[in-house]
């Protein structure tokens, strides 16, 4: 009977450990990913349900195709973002990657298509510039097979004193 009491006390003390959150970095990432999140309590209806109809505007269809979004936050008063839409042949890239600058409510966004890639990753950002790592499919015509390559690019634009969207952007190969 005493070992059971001792085990219960030990478990109770372990549950009171205030250092659990600070020790998460010690747990291997594979174990953290395997640990399920605690289930949230279900909500209880508190009024009648509203029935919604599907959206039919064409631009909503385009918005639904967005599969990646990265806000660029180092651009001062200029609102900028990178985004990728799904489309094309998924065996050969398929992430249409864009850079967009907000011009204002009347004009909307000024959008530049950077390319069709498998994926992109923002390496760094500074005012008037974003450095990207791009993974893309390439066709080996001689072998008749699809391979892949990783490349880096600097996407740049002139920073306007008034914070307006740039008229052009440049894409420069980088190391």
pLDDT, position 62: 83
Would residue 114 count as lying in a domain? Answer: yes
Do 169 and 91 share a structural domain? yes
- Between strands 95-104 and 108-117, the pairing is antiparallel
Domain assignment of residue 52, yes or no: no
SS3 67: strand
- Structural domain of residue 23, as residue ranges? 2-32
Q: Which two tokens stand for residue 15?
A: 């549950």
Instruction: Give a yes or no: residue 43 inside a domain.
Output: no
Give average pLDDT by consecutive 10-residue segment, the chain, 175 residues: 43 41 47 71 91 88 90 94 85 91 95 94 97 93 90 96 94 96
Q: Are residues 90 and 10 in the same domain?
A: no
DSSP assigned state of 56? -
Q: Which is it for strands 66-72 and 80-86: parallel, antiparallel or unpaired?
A: antiparallel
**7 in the same domain as 80:** no
Residue 135 CA to residue 95 CA, distance in Å, equals 10
In a domain, 124, yes or no: yes
> Are 12 and 78 in the same domain?
no
Residue 35 phi, psi dihedral angles, 5° rounding: -80, 120
Beta bridge partners of 106: none
Question: Does 45 map to a domain?
Answer: no
Q: Is 79 inside any structural domain?
A: yes
Report if residue 82 sits inside a domain: yes
Residue 101 within any structural domain of the chain: yes
pTM of the full predicted structure? 0.68
Residues facing 68 on adjacent strands: 84
Number of domains in the chain: 2
**Residue 78 shares a structural domain with residue 149:** yes
CA distance 111 to 107: 11
Q: Does one domain contain both 81 and 150?
A: yes
């Amino acid at each position: 009977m005493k070992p059971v009491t001792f085990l219960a006390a030990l478990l109770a003390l372990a549950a009171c450990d205030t250092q659990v959150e600070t020790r998460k970095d010690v747990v291997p990432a594979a174990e953290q990913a395997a640990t399920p999140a605690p289930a949230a309590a279900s909500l209880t209806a508190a009024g009648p349900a509203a029935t919604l109809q599907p959206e039919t505007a064409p631009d909503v269809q385009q918005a639904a195709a967005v599969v990646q979004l990265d806000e660029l936050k180092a651009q001062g008063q200029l609102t900028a973002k990178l985004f990728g839409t799904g489309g094309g042949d998924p065996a050969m890239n398929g992430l249409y990657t864009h850079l967009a600058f907000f011009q204002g409510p009347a004009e909307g966004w000024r959008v530049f298509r950077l390319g069709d890639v498998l994926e992109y990753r923002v390496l760094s950002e500074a005012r008037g510039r974003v450095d990207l790592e791009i993974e893309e499919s390439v066709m080996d015509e001689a072998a008749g097979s699809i391979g892949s390559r990783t490349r880096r690019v600097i996407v740049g634009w002139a920073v306007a004193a008034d914070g307006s969207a740039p008229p052009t952007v440049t894409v420069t190969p980088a190391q």
